[in-house]
Amino acid sequence: MSFESQLGPDGTQQSGSRRPPFFFREEYSNLIVKGNFMTLAAKPKLVEEGEWLAHQVVEQYRILEQMIDIIKVKDDKTGRPICNTEVCPTMSASGHTYTWLDNNKKPIKIPAIQYINLVQKWIIGKINDPAIFPTDTSSLSSTSYPSGSQTPTGTPQPLGPTSLTTPLSQLAGRDWLGKPSGFPETFESDIKSIYRQMMRCYAHIYHGHWLEPFWHVNAYKELNTCFIHFINVGKLFGLLGDKEIEPMQPLIDVWLAKGLIPAPQQQLQQKENVPSGGSQQGIAT
């Protein structure tokens, strides 16, 4: 039998041996780059944490968007995208089915492609909302991060505290993530919500589309590289809980065993180990 004929739609072997999906096995866990991904995730010492996380969230969405574009490619024969209502009637991953809230705030099951489209629209709306991600557009062309790379267009640049509608005198004694850079009090919960939805997209991509298209076009290493970077940031800054990671935990465990993702105690030590001006390795995506 050919390799493909032994696989189910999620990359699970069909032989009855109950072996895990191929994307959970060490031999398929390789990446397209080498090096320590912590240098990409760790906050430079002279950068405020809220500012760094705003940059990271926007960058992680940009990378995820490229993976989503792959499953939206239309089949030449059917004219339908790879992820469609027939192949993926629900937004699911490894026994988890994700629901969307309708206009009456009632959870409903919808096709994965519809869910992903709504997630993309929702995230873009959040990122472009100046009340959540205050942006100083005049600084976009001249601002650089300590890695030496130019700030991507659309990356939030926090405004000063005077941009908040609430006087600082009324905020005395209260603190939150991003406050020193002018981000709102809801900033942490907003970026965690964004990260949770991105995690669901990655989980569906792996469980629903690892074989078609990523294996068939030899792009599974690119998918792994994007996902390990996403997980490193999420775990390092507490943006993801264990339950949210659960559908992909076996692959994360493989990377932990290979030393590609630091253990929790190592992450704590490395959280701010990149000095301002230090070099960082890039990811080819």
Phi–psi pair at 206, nearest 5 degrees = -65, -55
CATH for 20-270 is: 1.20.140.30
Q: What is the mean pLDDT of the chain?
A: 80
More reliable by pLDDT, 139 or 64: 64
What is the model's pTM?
A: 0.78
Cis peptide bond prior to 213, omega within 30° of 0? yes
Q: How many of the other CB atoms lie within 10 Å of CB of 60?
A: 20
pLDDT in the model for residue 18: 66
Q: What does the DSSP 8-state code read for residue 21?
A: P
pLDDT digits (tens, 9 = 90+) for 160-198: 443 445 554 444 567 898 888 888 999 999 999 999 999
Average pLDDT of the segment spanning 96-104? 93
pLDDT digits (tens, 9 = 90+) for 71-99: 999 988 888 999 999 999 999 999 899 99
DSSP E strands, the chain: 91-93, 96-98, 100-101, 107-108
Looking at residue 43, its amino acid is K
Residue ranges of the annotated binding site for Zn(2+) are 83, 88, 204, 209
How far is it, in rounded angstroms, from Cα 228 to Cα 253? Answer: 11
Residue ranges of the annotated binding site are 83, 88, 204, 209
Smallest CA-to-CA distance from 229 within 187, 258, 261, 186 is with: 261
Burial class (CB in 10 A: 0-12, 13-18, 19+), 206: buried
How far is it, in rounded angstroms, from Cα 72 to Cα 200? Answer: 16
